[in-house]
Amino acid sequence: MSPAATRILLAGARRRGRGLSTSAEPSPSPSLSPSQLPRGKRWDAVVIGGGHNGLAAAAYLARAGRSVAVLERRGVLGGAAVSESDLVPGFRFSRCSYLLSLLRPALIRELELERHGLKLLPRSPSSFTPCLDGRYLLLGPDAELNRSEIGKFSKKDAEAYPRYEEQLEKFCKLMDFVIDSPPPELRQLYHASMVDRMKDKVDKSVFWSKLLGIVMQQGQKDMVNFFDLLLSPASKILNNWFEGDVLKATLATDAVIGTMAGVNTPGSGYVLLHHIMGETGGQRGVWAYVEGGMGSVSSAISKAALEAGVQIVTNAEVSQVMVDENTGKVQGVALVDGTELHSSVVLSNATPYKTFVDLVPANTLPEEFLCAIKTADYSSATTKINVAVNALPQFHCCKNINPEGGPEHMGTIHIGSESMEEIDIAYKEAAGGFSSTRPVIEMTIPSVLDKTISPPGQHVINLFVQYTPYKLSEGSWQDPAVRKSFAERCFSLIDEYAPHFSSSVIGYDMLTPPDLEREFGLTGGNIFHGAMGLDSLFLMRPAKGWSDYRTPVKGLYLCGSGAHPGGGVMGAPGRNAAAVVLDDLKAR
């Protein structure tokens, strides 16, 4: 982020936040319908998509004094960070994303999200892996617990684990600067003034000099290990550190979650790092539930945006980005109902494919760029099942019955992940077009800590399931029998570890990759808006030469997970994109 943009963002945050009480505040105006928009108004910026990144970008722009409209296709805000309560009566589900850790601390602080209602519920222990042989592994922020639990399987691994965590934390500090900065993209500034060209060179020099300083602090040995992590399969990294199958499999799930990749896929080590880069309450790698569900994250950001003056419009589907045929510059957007919003700046929180293939007029984009967008990897292996149950699952490997919830219920429960070989077999089946015979399941039970989302004595359960290909070799996800069969397969697998789970199910909602695409606009069902391989990160995201949120259409910017630094409920793409837009507006 350029120094100028940083000053604008922080000044806006201070100006809006100073002197505001944390109680008895007037509620922001609710979202509008398209018919309520002022006719003929010219906006400083229009944001396509009311996901958390789009809302964050809008909030920062409005805090800098710009007039901003956010357009959300659905009737509920949040994109994939959303809470929905009409799936099973009495229950409130985080329908897509279900845990929080990656949301940038600077964004939480600058937008004052806690004042706007964000309440995090840290999990300890954070991980539970039951085994069919009666053993189990608990992990969390407690170092002594980790040593004791890992030591049940391997004394050597118990000694190695703190060093493993320490090394990854070093790498996370290196990534913090990269995540919070727009990539230093090369630009041919033919029509810019000499002052603007010099400023551009200075900004890039500042970025690289800061990054070099951080690298030098790491030392050569750590940097070699860092690049080994980036380039290697997760299996290689974990085999080099540990000997116990259960520990390695538990950690390996972070390397493949949300991806159509296996533990032996080169580059999966980076995805492992990506999922532990976050923090909760200043504690690195700790994931939390959000009281009220993940929609509370989007709600808090939307309140910050509304307070800053953003106009948020729901049930407003964009049909086209309007581009001047003569100048190639953005003119605004047109909605499906014919409404037009005029602006010389449009930010898209949609996927790159949706933005450039579906919304930007044909023949507007360079052929090479459009080809890169179309051929990017949007494959998905993920199915989300939201389950309402009348009792907590009780695991046969735990001797005590905990009807109100024990340590095994607090964190992520890894089902079918007792070895990396199991995960690899499940992946290979999906690569062949078949849903996994024994799916890899991450089960979470937020209602153990969050009493606002289910009736007393009953619980909300999230099942994040892999691997399920977008297109099946046999059958179709549109077939109710196929859908029911897969859901029952998942429930039966859980029964092996927690008998009678299936009989406790009151109702459920299942989102396969095609469902995720249809309901939430996630191309291919990919939760990251595109694969997180090394060929699609940093200066390569979403396409080579266009990593700094700008696009070949002047005035059109990306602000979603398809841009740097990628997916997850992070907010960094929205925050960084807003900084770039403010820099460009200032230059104009």
For 305-309, 355-359, 395-399, which range has the lowest pLDDT when averaged over its residues?
395-399
Statement: residue 447 has pLDDT above 80: yes
User: Once rounded to an integer, what is the mean pLDDT over residues 358-385?
Assistant: 96
The band of 252, judged by pLDDT with boundaries at 50, 70 and 90, is very high
User: Once rounded to an integer, what is the mean pLDDT over residues 29-56?
Assistant: 90
Q: Is residue 235 part of a domain?
A: no
Statement: residue 387 has pLDDT above 80: yes
Domain that residue 72 falls in: 30-82+294-376+531-587
Q: Is residue 330 part of a domain?
A: yes
DSSP at 354? I
Distance of alpha carbon 265 from alpha carbon 257, whole angstroms: 13
Nearest to 559 by CA among 577, 546, 584, 539: 577
The band of 241, judged by pLDDT with boundaries at 50, 70 and 90, is very high
Task: Give the sign of the dihedral formed by CA 397, CA 402, CA 408, CA 412.
Answer: positive
The band of 12, judged by pLDDT with boundaries at 50, 70 and 90, is low
> Half-sphere exposure (CA, 13 Å, Cβ side) for 431?
11
User: Once rounded to an integer, what is the mean pLDDT over residues 38-62?
Assistant: 96
By residue count, the chain amounts to: 588
pLDDT digits (tens, 9 = 90+) for 532-583: 988 999 999 999 999 999 999 999 999 999 999 999 999 999 999 999 999 9
Statement: residue 21 has pLDDT above 80: no
| H or E element, residue 374 | helix 367-374
Sheet containing 346-348: order of strands: 311-313, 68-71, 45-48, 346-348, 556-558
User: Once rounded to an integer, what is the mean pLDDT over residues 5-10?
Assistant: 50
Say which CATH number the domain at 75 has.
Answer: 3.50.50.60
How high does pLDDT run on average in the chain? 91
Q: Is residue 323 part of a domain?
A: yes
**Structure confidence at residue 323 (pLDDT):** 98
Q: Is residue 457 part of a domain?
A: no
Statement: residue 54 has pLDDT above 70: yes
Dihedral Cα 452, 455, 457, 463, nearest 10 deg: -70
Q: How many domains is the chain built from?
A: 1
Q: Is residue 171 part of a domain?
A: no
CB 91 within 8 A of CB 454: yes
pLDDT digits (tens, 9 = 90+) for 430-445: 999 999 999 999 999 9
Statement: residue 10 has pLDDT above 80: no
The band of 8, judged by pLDDT with boundaries at 50, 70 and 90, is very low
User: Once rounded to an integer, what is the mean pLDDT over residues 521-532?
Assistant: 96
Q: Is residue 354 part of a domain?
A: yes
Ramachandran bin of 487, using left for φ above 0, alpha for ψ from -120 to 50, beta for the remaining angles = alpha
Statement: residue 405 has pLDDT above 60: yes
Q: Is residue 234 part of a domain?
A: no
Neighbours of 196 (CB within 10 A): 12
Task: Give the sign of the dihedral formed by CA 392, CA 398, CA 401, CA 407.
Answer: negative
User: Once rounded to an integer, what is the mean pLDDT over residues 288-296?
Assistant: 97
pLDDT digits (tens, 9 = 90+) for 191-230: 567 777 777 788 888 999 998 888 888 888 888 999 998 8
> Half-sphere exposure (CA, 13 Å, Cβ side) for 139?
24
**Structure confidence at residue 1 (pLDDT):** 56
Tokens (6 digits) for 422: 């199991």
DSSP at 28? P
Tokens (6 digits) for 340: 């037009």
How far apart are the two ends of the chain, measured CA to CA in Å? 18
CB 453 within 8 A of CB 447: yes
Q: What is the pTM of this model?
A: 0.93
pLDDT digits (tens, 9 = 90+) for 318-356: 999 999 999 999 999 999 999 999 999 999 999 999 999
Strands (E), 134-293: 136-139, 279-280, 283-284, 288-290
Distance of alpha carbon 433 from alpha carbon 469, whole angstroms: 6
Distance of alpha carbon 236 from alpha carbon 191, whole angstroms: 49
CA angle centred on 545, ends 542 and 546, rounded to 5°: 45
Neighbours of 1 (CB within 10 A): 22
The band of 17, judged by pLDDT with boundaries at 50, 70 and 90, is very low
Statement: residue 4 has pLDDT above 50: no
User: Once rounded to an integer, what is the mean pLDDT over residues 492-500?
Assistant: 97
Q: Is residue 343 part of a domain?
A: yes
